C-alpha cells in the first residue's frame, strides 16, 4: 500500500510539473500567443524535414517535438503569403531526401503560386542527393528561382531506387512457414515473406511505377531549370559530382554558404531586413483567418484501423481510426454551415472493414447533400483508395501512389522450429475451425480453403465497389485491380482518379460543387476541430491520473515501442510479452 501511495503522489507531482510546463510553452508559442509582424518581411521555412500530413498530439511530441504545423497549414500559409503585400520573398532550407513526392509537388505548386505573384524564392542546401536513391530534395529545390549549394556539399541525384528484403529462405531454415494468400498477382506486400525474390508481376508493376515517377521528375525539372530532358538524364547518370560542376551544368545557381545565401536574400529584398518564420506567420494568420462559406476538411492519415485512437495519453497519431473518421464525416455532413467536404487521404491501407466504414460515411455525407472531394497525399492505396472511392471527385498529385485494389492475409506457423527445439504445443478446441490461425499448428486443407474463400469474398466486394463507383466495365476494372499500384497519372488513365493536382484544386472543385463563386473567400474548417491543441494534450495528461489498484497504467512513448517492436517484443500496460517466435517475421 505504501508503494502505491508513493507512486500515486509521484505521478500527481509529475503531471503537475508537466501541466505547468505545457501552460508556459503554449503561452509563449501556442496559437493564442500574440505576435506583431512587421509591415514588410521575408518568410523563412525549414524544409530539411517536410511537414507531415498530421501533427502528433501525443504528450511528448506535442510539447517538445518541434513545429506545430502540418502540410495543410504550410501550403495554406504559402497561399496567403502570395497575396499578402507585406511579404516580399521566401527563403527555404532544403535537405529532405526521403520525402514523398506528392508532398513535394504540393509544396512546389504553392511556391510556384508565390513566385507567380512577382515574389522571389531562394533556397540553400548543404548537399543534394547524398543517398543516391531518391530525388525529393532536388525536386523541391527546382521550384525555386535560385538554388545555393554549399561548396563542400556535392550533387548526387542519380534516380529512384527501391530495395525489398526477402526472408522466405531464412524462415525456411528456421522452420517457420507462412500460411495465407493474396488476391492477386500484383498484390506484392506479403511477397517478402512468401517468396525468395521479387515475382515477375511485382517487378513489372514496380518498374512501371518508378519509370513514371522518375519521368515526371525529369519533365518538371527540365522545365524549371531550362535543361533538355535527355541532357538531364545524361547528367544524373554521371553523378555524383562536385558543386562547381552542378553550377556549370545549370543544375544549381550559386555556390556558397548559408550566410552567402542570406546576403542574396537581403539584396533581393532591398532595405528590409525582417525575416519571419512561416510558422510564426501562420500563427498570426490563425487569428485573422478568412471568413466565408465553410468547406469541411476531414483527414485519413496513417494505417487504417478499427475503433478509435483517442484512448491513450501517449498517442502517436500514426493511425487513421474508422470511428474517428466516420464521426468527423458525420459531423461535417450534419453541420448546416458546411457547404462541401474535402477528404484528405494519406494512407497505405489497413483493415478492410475499417476502410469500408469510411467509404460508407462518404456515401452518407453525399446523400445528405454535401459534395465530397478527395485530395490524395503521398499514398492512398488499398484501403486508402477504398475510403476514397465513393466521393464525387477524386484528386491526386501526378506522383501520388494509389490503387493496390486487392487483399492479402498471412500468418506464421513454426511447427518445424518447435520440433527442432523439442517443444510441443497441445491444444483443446470446440469448433471445426477454432484455432485455424494458430502459429503452432498447420491449418488443414479445409481451413486453407476457408481462408481462400474469405479472400475471394473481400476481393469481390472491393472490386464491385470500385466498378460501381467509378463506372468501370469488367475489362477496365480487371486492368485497374489485381493489386496493381499506380502513380496518380496512371490512375487517371485507368479511371481511378478524376483530376491531377493538390489541395488547392480540391478546394476549388469543392467550391464549384457547392455553388460557391470562385472569387469568394472560404473558411476551411477541420473536423474534428484542431484549433485548441493545448486542450487535447491536457486531456491526455489527465488520463495519466486514471490508475488501477496496482499503480499507473501508462503506455510507453512511440520511440521505445518502435525499438521493442524491431526486436520482436510486444509491450502492453503492465506487461511486456516476448514473441513465441524469432522476430524476423514479427
Q: What single string gives the DSSP state of each residue in 500-516?
A: E--HHHHHHHHHHHHT-
| Cell 508493376, residue located | 205
Q: Which three cell numbers stand for residue 86?
A: 507585406
Calculate the CA dihedral of residues 414, 417, 418, 421 and round it to 10 degrees: -160
Cβ-Cβ contacts under 8 Å for 10 (sequence gap 6 or more): none
Cβ-Cβ contacts under 8 Å for 423 (sequence gap 6 or more): none
Helix (H) or strand (E) segment spanning residue 189: none
| Distance between CA atoms of residues 298 and 283, nearest Å | 21
Check: CB of residue 528 under 8 Å from CB of residue 310.
no
**Nearest one of 399, 389, 410, 343 to 370, comparing CA atoms:** 343
Tell me the backbone φ, ψ of residue 297, rounded to 5 degrees: -125, 120
Check: CB of residue 402 under 8 Å from CB of residue 379.
yes
User: What would the 3-class secondary structure string for 77-138 be?
Assistant: HHHHHHHCCCEEEEEEEECCCCCCHHHHHHHHHHHHHHHHCCCEEEEEECCECCCCCCCHHH
DSSP 425: -
pLDDT, position 272 = 76
Q: Which three cell numbers stand for residue 81?
A: 503569403
| Cell 507531415, residue located | 52
Provide the CA 353 distance to its chain's centre, in angstroms. Answer: 21
Q: Which three cell numbers stand for residue 408?
A: 492479402
Check: CB of residue 482 under 8 Å from CB of residue 185.
yes
Check: CB of residue 104 under 8 Å from CB of residue 140.
yes
Calculate the CA dihedral of residues 50, 56, 62, 65 and round it to 10 degrees: -40
**Residue 445: how many CB atoms within 10 A of its CB?**
7
Which domains does the chain possess? 38-158+239-286 (3.90.226.10), 290-404+486-530 (3.90.226.10)
| Distance between CA atoms of residues 559 and 474, nearest Å | 46
pLDDT, position 380 = 97
SS3 556: coil
SS3 content of the chain, % helix, strand, coil (to 5): 45, 20, 40
Write the pLDDT tens digit of every residue in 222-239. Answer: 999 999 999 999 999 999
Q: Which three cell numbers stand for residue 363?
A: 456515401
SS3 42: strand
Write the pLDDT tens digit of every residue in 399-421. Answer: 999 999 999 999 999 999 999 99
The Cα diameter of the chain in Å comes to 82
Q: Where are the alpha helices (DSSP H) in 298-444?
A: 322-334, 352-367, 383-388, 415-421
SS3 435: coil
| Distance between CA atoms of residues 419 and 87, nearest Å | 71
Cβ-Cβ contacts under 8 Å for 119 (sequence gap 6 or more): 82, 87, 88, 89, 90
SS3 8: helix
Question: What pTM did the predictor assign?
Answer: 0.85
Q: Which three cell numbers stand for residue 183?
A: 488476391
Dihedral sign from CA coordinates of 83, 84, 85, 88: negative
Q: Which three cell numbers stand for residue 185?
A: 498477382
Calculate the CA dihedral of residues 68, 72, 78, 79 and round it to 10 degrees: -150
| Distance between CA atoms of residues 529 and 298, nearest Å | 10
Check: CB of residue 254 under 8 Å from CB of residue 149.
yes
Q: Which three cell numbers stand for residue 169?
A: 529462405
pLDDT, position 310 = 61
DSSP 579: -
pLDDT, position 3 = 53
Provide the CA 239 distance to its chain's centre, in angstroms. Answer: 30
Which of the residues in the chain have pLDDT under 70? 1-35, 56-68, 285-290, 310-317, 530-586
pLDDT, position 318 = 77
**Residue 409: how many CB atoms within 10 A of its CB?**
17
**Nearest one of 451, 472, 381 to 186, comparing CA atoms:** 381
Helix (H) or strand (E) segment spanning residue 409: strand 407-413
| Distance between CA atoms of residues 47 and 93, nearest Å | 5
SS3 270: coil
Helix axes 101-116, 503-514, angle to 10 degrees: 70
Amino acid at each position: 500500500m505504501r508503494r502505491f501511495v508513493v507512486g500515486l503522489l509521484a505521478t500527481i507531482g509529475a503531471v503537475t510539473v508537466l501541466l505547468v510546463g505545457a501552460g508556459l510553452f503554449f503561452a509563449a508559442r501556442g496559437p493564442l500567443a500574440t505576435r506583431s509582424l512587421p509591415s514588410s518581411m521575408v518568410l523563412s521555412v525549414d524544409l530539411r524535414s517536410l511537414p507531415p500530413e498530421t501533427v502528433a498530439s501525443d504528450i511528448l511530441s506535442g510539447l517538445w517535438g518541434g513545429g506545430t504545423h502540418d502540410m495543410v497549414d504550410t501550403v495554406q500559409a504559402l497561399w496567403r503569403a502570395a497575396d499578402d503585400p507585406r511579404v516580399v520573398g521566401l527563403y527555404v532550407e532544403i535537405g529532405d531526401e526521403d520525402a514523398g513526392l506528392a508532398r513535394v509537388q504540393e509544396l512546389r505548386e504553392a511556391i510556384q503560386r508565390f513566385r507567380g505573384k512577382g515574389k522571389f524564392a531562394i533556397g540553400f542546401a548543404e548537399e543534394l542527393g547524398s543517398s543516391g536513391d531518391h530525388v525529393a530534395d532536388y525536386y523541391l529545390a527546382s521550384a525555386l528561382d535560385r538554388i545555393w549549394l554549399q561548396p563542400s556539399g556535392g550533387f548526387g541525384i542519380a534516380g529512384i531506387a527501391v530495395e525489398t528484403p526477402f526472408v522466405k529462405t531464412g524462415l525456411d531454415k528456421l522452420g517457420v512457414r507462412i500460411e495465407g494468400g493474396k488476391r492477386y498477382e500484383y498484390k506484392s506486400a506479403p511477397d517478402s515473406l512468401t517468396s525468395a525474390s521479387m515475382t515477375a508481376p511485382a517487378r513489372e508493376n514496380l518498374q512501371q511505377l518508378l519509370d513514371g515517377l522518375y519521368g515526371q521528375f525529369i519533365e518538371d525539372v527540365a522545365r524549371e531549370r531550362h535543361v533538355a530532358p535527355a541532357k538531364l538524364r545524361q547528367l544524373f547518370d554521371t553523378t555524383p559530382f562536385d558543386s562547381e560542376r552542378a553550377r556549370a551544368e545549370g543544375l544549381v545557381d550559386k555556390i556558397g554558404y548559408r550566410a552567402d545565401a542570406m546576403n542574396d536574400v537581403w539584396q533581393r529584398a532591398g532595405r528590409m531586413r525582417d525575416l519571419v518564420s512561416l510558422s510564426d506567420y501562420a500563427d498570426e494568420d490563425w487569428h485573422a483567418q478568412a471568413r466565408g462559406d465553410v468547406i469541411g476538411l476531414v483527414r485519413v492519415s496513417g494505417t487504417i484501423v478499427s475503433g478509435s485512437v483517442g484512448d491513450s495519453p501517449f498517442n502517436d497519431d500514426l493511425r487513421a481510426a474508422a470511428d474517428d473518421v466516420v464521426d468527423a464525416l458525420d459531423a461535417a455532413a450534419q453541420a448546416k454551415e458546411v457547404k462541401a467536404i474535402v477528404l484528405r487521404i494519406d494512407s497505405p491501407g489497413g483493415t478492410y472493414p475499417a476502410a469500408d466504414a469510411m467509404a460508407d460515411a462518404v456515401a452518407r455525407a453525399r446523400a445528405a447533400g454535401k459534395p465530397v472531394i478527395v485530395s490524395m497525399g503521398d499514398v492512398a492505396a488499398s484501403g486508402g483508395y477504398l475510403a476514397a472511392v465513393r466521393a464525387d471527385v477524386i484528386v491526386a498529385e501526378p506522383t501520388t501512389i494509389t490503387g493496390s485494389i486487392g487483399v492479402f492475409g498471412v500468418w506464421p506457423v513454426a511447427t518445424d522450429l518447435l520440433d527442432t527445439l523439442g517443444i510441443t504445443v497441445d491444444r483443446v478446441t470446440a469448433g471445426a475451425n477454432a484455432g485455424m490461425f494458430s502459429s503452432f499448428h498447420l491449418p488443414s486443407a479445409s481451413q486453407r480453403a476457408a481462408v481462400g474463400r474469405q479472400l475471394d469474398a473481400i476481393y469481390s466486394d472491393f472490386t464491385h465497389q470500385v466498378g460501381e463507383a467509378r463506372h468501370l466495365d469488367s475489362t477496365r476494372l480487371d486492368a485497374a485491380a489485381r493489386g496493381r499500384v499506380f502513380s496518380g497519372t496512371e490512375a487517371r488513365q485507368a479511371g481511378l482518379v478524376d483530376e491531377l493536382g493538390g489541395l488547392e484544386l480540391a478546394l476549388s472543385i469543392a467550391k464549384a460543387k457547392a455553388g460557391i463563386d470562385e472569387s469568394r473567400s472560404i473558411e476551411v474548417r477541420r473536423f474534428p476541430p484542431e484549433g485548441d491543441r493545448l486542450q487535447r494534450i491536457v486531456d491526455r495528461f489527465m488520463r495519466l491520473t486514471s490508475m488501477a489498484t496496482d499503480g499507473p497504467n501508462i503506455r510507453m512513448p512511440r520511440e521505445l515501442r518502435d525499438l521493442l517492436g524491431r526486436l520482436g517484443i510486444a509491450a502492453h500496460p503492465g506487461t511486456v510479452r516476448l514473441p513465441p517466435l524469432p522476430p524476423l517475421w514479427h
